């Protein structure tokens, strides 16, 4: 059996497949490069985020430790001054009561966070030395 073509010979053209495949390959290559770049950028952002969070957590620990220490000192001073006031009242020593009350007012009026700035600046200098 003989096959005949329905397309006349004059209309037959050769198809250049390379002109169709090359743009597809180029697009796929471009996509893969873009994807790889995005993955790298995300990894860099994630790394910076983790690093920053770690620094913030450590800085917070320094602050909390400082404030706990400072408030612990204040607590001991308050206890001692109130004990001193009790002793002064029991012995009717007005001068000692006045002095103890002035000490309480002095402690109460000082900012418990004073000095925290210096501690944090020193911490930041130490951290920046390691960068």
> pLDDT tens digits, the chain, 131 residues: what are they?
566 655 555 555 677 777 888 889 999 999 999 999 999 999 999 999 999 999 999 999 999 999 999 999 999 999 999 999 999 999 999 999 999 999 999 999 988 888 899 999 998 888 888 76
Report how far residue 17's alpha carbon sits from residue 19's, in angstroms, rounded to the nearest whole number. 5
Structure tokens at 89: 């009242």
**In the 8-state DSSP scheme, what is residue 111?**
-
**Residue 65 phi, psi (nearest 5):** -60, -45
Report how far residue 114's alpha carbon sits from residue 117's, in angstroms, rounded to the nearest whole number. 7
Contact 97, 85 (CB under 8 A): yes
- Return the beta strands (E) in the chain as ranges: none
Report how far residue 38's alpha carbon sits from residue 65's, in angstroms, rounded to the nearest whole number. 40
Greatest CA separation for the chain: 134
pTM of the model: 0.61
């Amino acid at each position: 059996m003989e096959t005949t073509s329905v397309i006349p010979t004059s209309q037959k053209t050769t198809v250049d497949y390379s002109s169709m495949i090359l743009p597809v390959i180029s697009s796929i290559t471009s996509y893969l490069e873009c994807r790889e770049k995005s993955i790298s950028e995300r990894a860099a952002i994630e790394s910076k985020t983790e690093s920053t969070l770690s620094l913030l957590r450590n800085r917070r620990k320094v602050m909390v430790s400082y404030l706990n220490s400072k408030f612990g000192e204040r607590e001991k001073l308050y206890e001692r001054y109130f004990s001193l006031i009790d002793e002064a009242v029991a012995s009717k020593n007005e001068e000692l009561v006045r002095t103890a009350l002035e000490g309480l007012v002095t402690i109460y009026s000082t900012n418990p966070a004073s000095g925290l700035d210096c501690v944090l600046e020193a911490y930041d200098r130490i951290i920046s030395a390691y960068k």
